[in-house]
Structure 1
Amino acid sequence: PKEIEKMERSNITFVVEFILLGFSDLPNFQKLLFGIFLVIYMNILIGNGLLIFITKTNPTLQTPMYFFLGNFSFLEICYTSVILPRMLIDLWTQKGNISFLSCAIQNCSFCILGVAECLLLAVMAYDRYVAICKPLYYPIIMNHKMCVQLVIASWITGIPVLIGLTYQIFSLNFCDSNKLDHIFCDAPPILEIACGDTYQKELSVHVAALFFIMTPFLLILISYIKIITTILKLPSTSGKSKAFSTCSSHIMVVGLFYGSGSIVYLRPESSHSAKSDKAFSVLYTTVTPVLNPIIYSLRNKDVIAALKKILPK
Structure 2
Amino acid sequence: MNISSLLQQAAAAAAGAQQYPAASLYVVATPIGNLADLTLRAIQVLARADAVACEDTRVSAALLRHLGLDRPLLSVHEHNEAAAAQGVVARLAQGQRVAYVSDAGTPAVSDPGAVLVAAVREAGYRVVPIPGASSAVTALSAAGDARTSGFTFVGFLPAKGAERKAALQALAAQPQAQVLFEAPHRVQTLAAELAQAMPQRQLSCCRELTKQFESIHTLAAAEFPEWLAADAQRQRGEFVLVLHAAPAVPAAQDEDALPPEAERALRTLLAELPLKQAVSLAATLSGAPRNALYQRALALKNEA
Q: Structure 2 length as normaliser, TM-score?
A: 0.22
Structure number with the bigger relative contact order (C-alpha 8 A, sep ≥ 6) is 1
Structure 1 or 2: larger helix share?
Answer: 1
Structure label with greater radius of gyration? 2
Q: Name the one with the larger strand percent.
A: 2
